[in-house]
Amino acid sequence: MALSRMKLKVLQGHLENIEVFDNPKILLEQYPTTPHIAAIMLHQIQTKFGDIEGCSVLDLGCGCGILSIGSVMLGAGYVLGIDVDEEALEVCRRNLDEHEISEVDLLQQNIFNISPNINDDSEKFLPKRFETVIMNPPFGTKKNAGIDMEFVKTALMMSTNAVYSLHKTATRKHLVKKAKDWGVSIDILGEFNFDLANTFKCHKKSVANIEVDFVRFAHKNE
């Protein structure tokens, strides 16, 4: 069976064996994508759009690597995972070793060091090197306001085809407006519930359950 036809449940089963953050850092918004959500995202990206198998994929804010590893399981040709946090990358390296995956390179970098102005076409860091970006960026809490948009701008600059991302449903209107400004199309592919209480024990109940959109941005060259 071709890898890209791997059944959703089988993919989720593999992703359930991936180690998560030892000490999640609240300021870096280190909540891992659950195996269930990651499997639905990746499966849909491949079966509906064919944007993983044989593609070069970028995972911005890769954390422990669930989206990178799942992409390889669905046949990605090459994956680069970027994260600011060396401890998260250490967990990611262990996961790659555990699954004997060699198609993923890792880079420790702060998104703000590679973030472009989307209207600025000067040569910046790795412009247009990846076909697909798949990410679960920080949502942009009070301390990090705007970081979610910075991730999307950078992802669009570094890709030729499409960007798949998770965003608070509350920001949907703003995202739609930004996509229009940037000249890219936007589709909401699904909605999930993120339970942050399990990640950050100190999270108040009232803010622990967050509604999240699964979003596809596409360059208009399709």
Ligand X SMILES: C[S@@+](CC[C@H](N)C(=O)[O-])C[C@H]1O[C@@H](n2cnc3c(N)ncnc32)[C@H](O)[C@@H]1O
Which residues here bind ligand X, judged by CB under 6 A?
28-33, 61-64, 66-67, 83-85, 88, 110-112, 136, 138
Token pair listed for 11: 């993919």
Specify the DSSP class assigned to residue 108. Answer: E
Shortest Cβ 171–ligand X spacing (Å): 15
180/211 with CB nearer ligand X: 211
Radius of gyration, alpha carbons of the chain: 16
Instruction: Using alpha carbons, select from 82, 220, 83 the residue that is nearest to residue 160.
Output: 220
Q: Are 161 and 69 in contact (CB under 8 A)?
A: no
Candidates 44, 24, 36; CA nearest to 66 is 36
Smaller CB separation from ligand X, 110 or 185: 110
Question: Is-contact 114 84, C-beta < 8 A?
Answer: no
Our CB check for ligand X shows the closer of 33 and 46 to be 33
The nearest distance, CB 123 to ligand X, in angstroms, is 21
| Residue number, 30 or 71, with CB nearest to ligand X | 30
- In the complex, the smallest distance separating the C-beta of residue 139 from ligand X, rounded to whole angstroms, is 8
Cβ closest to ligand X, residue 170 vs residue 177: 170
Q: How far is the CB of 54 from ligand X (least distance, A)?
A: 22
Scanning the structure block, which residue is given the tokens 């891992």? 32
Burial 80-108 (b: 16+ CB within 10 A, else e): bbbbebeebbebbeebbeebebeebebee
Least separation in angstroms between CB 83 and ligand X: 5
